[in-house]
C-alpha cells in the first residue's frame, strides 16, 4: 500500500513560492447557475469551490485546476460542461480564490482528500445519482491521481489534462534547484507510481506541443495506469494553456463521450 509522501525535502518556503501562484477572487458573486462553497478543513483554513450545476442526475466532475488558476477562471467553461450534461465542481487550493491559508506542497494532497470526502457526503445528502468523476489539470493532476488511488472505490473515472508523470523535470523547469536541495524523484508527487493503483476508466488529454509538460509524460502515465479502459488524446498544435481554445466544443464532446458508458451503467 502506497501512502502519501510526507514531502520532507519539498516542504520548503522557496519551493512553495515557485510552485504556487495564488491570487484572490474579488468577484462579488458567482455567475447565474453557479454556487460558491467553503469547506472548513482546519482552524483558520477554508477551501473555496465553485459548483456549476444542472440536473442532479447528471455526472458530477470534481475538478482540480492548474497552479496559476482559480475556480472563477472557469466561469466561461462551467456552462460549456453543463451543456454536455456535466456538473463542474471546481476546487481551489489554500490561498487561492476565496480560500484562506497558505498553499504548500505538504497540504495539497491531504486537503484534496478531505474536500473529496466532503463533496461525496454532499452528493449523498442531496441524492445526486449521476457518476462521480475526478479531474485534474496540470498541477491538479497530482490531487486527482491521489484521489483516484486512495478513493478509487468511490469514483467512476479519472480525467487528466496536461498531467505530469515525473516531478523532478517539472520542478527544475519552475526554477527549483533540485540537486542543490537534495530532492529525489521519490520526494515528489509520485504520480507515475500512484496511477498504477488507479483502476477506474482513465482519460488523458495533452497538447502535442506542450512547452511545459511534454506529451510524453501523458504517454508514460497511460502505460503505467492500472485502468483496463484507458485512452490518451493528443490535441494537434496545442500547448500547455490553449487546449480548450483549440478544441472548442470538441473538448467537451470528448469528455462527454468518455463518460457516456458510465452513465448507461449507472442507469442499469
Q: Which residues of 233-258 are buried (b: 16+ CB within 10 A; e: fewer)?
A: bbbeebebbebbeebeeebbebbbeb
The CATH number of whichever domain residue 215 belongs to comes to 3.40.50.1820
Give SS3 for 246: helix
Distance CA 120, CA 43 (A): 22
Can you list the positions of beta strands (E) in 55-178?
59-64, 86-91, 132-137, 157-161
Question: Does some domain include residue 118?
Answer: yes
Torsion over CA of 115, 78, 140 and 13, rounded to 10 degrees?
-80
pLDDT in tens, 78-93: 999 999 999 999 999 9
- The segments of the chain whose pLDDT lies below 50 read 1, 3-6
Question: How far is CA 164 from its chain centroid?
Answer: 12
Question: Does some domain include residue 252?
Answer: yes
Distance CA 134, CA 136 (A): 7
Question: Does some domain include residue 8?
Answer: no
pLDDT value for 240:
97
pLDDT value for 63:
98
Domain count, the chain: 1
Q: Domain of residue 99: give its range.
A: 13-267
Question: Does some domain include residue 7?
Answer: no
Q: Residue 239: what are its φ and ψ, rounded to 5°?
A: -95, -150
Question: Does some domain include residue 3?
Answer: no
Cα–Cα distances in Å, from 115 out to 76, 129, 158, 259?
A: 23, 19, 16, 22
pLDDT value for 13:
76
Question: How far is CA 178 from its chain centroid?
Answer: 24
Distance CA 189, CA 162 (A): 15
pLDDT value for 182:
86
Q: Residue 37: what are its φ and ψ, rounded to 5°?
A: -135, 155
> Which three-class secondary structure string do you get for 168-209?
HHHHHHCCCCCCCCCCCHHHCCCHHHHHHHCCCCEEEEEECC
CB contact at 8 A, 72 and 53? no
Q: pTM for the complete prediction?
A: 0.94
CB contact at 8 A, 92 and 69? no
pLDDT value for 267:
56
Name the strands in the sheet holding 34-42, side by side, starting at the edge strand that comes first in the sequence.
Answer: 34-42, 45-52, 86-91, 59-64, 132-137, 157-161, 202-207, 230-235
Question: Does some domain include residue 109?
Answer: yes
pLDDT value for 120:
98
Mean pLDDT of the chain: 93
pLDDT value for 180:
85
Amino acid at each position: 500500500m502506497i501512502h502519501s509522501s510526507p514531502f520532507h525535502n519539498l516542504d520548503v518556503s522557496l519551493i512553495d513560492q515557485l510552485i504556487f501562484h495564488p491570487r484572490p477572487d474579488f468577484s462579488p458573486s458567482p455567475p447565474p447557475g453557479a454556487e460558491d462553497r467553503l469547506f472548513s478543513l482546519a482552524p483558520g483554513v477554508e477551501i473555496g469551490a465553485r459548483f456549476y450545476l444542472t440536473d442532479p442526475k447528471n455526472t458530477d466532475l470534481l475538478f482540480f485546476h492548474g497552479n496559476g488558476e482559480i475556480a472563477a477562471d472557469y466561469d466561461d467553461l462551467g456552462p460549456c460542461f453543463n451543456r454536455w450534461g456535466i456538473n463542474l465542481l471546481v476546487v481551489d487550493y489554500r490561498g487561492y480564490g476565496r480560500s484562506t491559508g497558505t498553499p504548500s506542497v505538504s497540504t495539497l494532497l491531504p486537503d484534496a482528500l478531505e474536500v473529496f470526502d466532503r463533496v461525496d457526503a454532499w452528493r449523498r445528502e442531496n441524492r445526486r445519482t449521476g457518476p462521480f468523476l475526478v479531474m485534474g489539470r496540470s498541477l491538479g493532476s497530482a490531487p486527482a491521481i491521489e484521489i483516484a488511488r486512495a478513493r478509487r472505490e468511490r469514483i467512476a473515472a479519472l480525467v487528466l489534462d496536461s498531467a505530469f508523470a515525473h516531478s523532478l523535470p517539472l520542478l527544475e523547469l519552475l526554477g527549483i534547484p533540485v540537486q542543490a536541495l537534495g530532492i529525489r524523484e521519490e520526494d515528489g508527487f509520485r504520480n507515475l507510481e500512484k496511477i498504477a493503483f488507479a483502476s477506474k476508466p482513465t482519460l488523458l488529454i495533452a497538447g502535442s506541443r506542450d512547452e511545459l509538460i511534454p506529451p510524453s509524460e501523458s504517454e508514460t502515465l497511460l502505460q503505467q495506469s492500472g485502468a483496463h479502459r484507458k485512452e490518451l488524446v493528443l490535441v494537434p498544435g496545442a500547448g500547455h494553456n490553449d487546449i480548450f481554445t483549440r478544441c472548442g466544443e470538441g473538448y467537451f464532446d470528448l469528455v462527454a463521450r468518455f463518460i457516456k458508458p458510465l452513465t448507461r451503467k449507472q442507469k442499469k
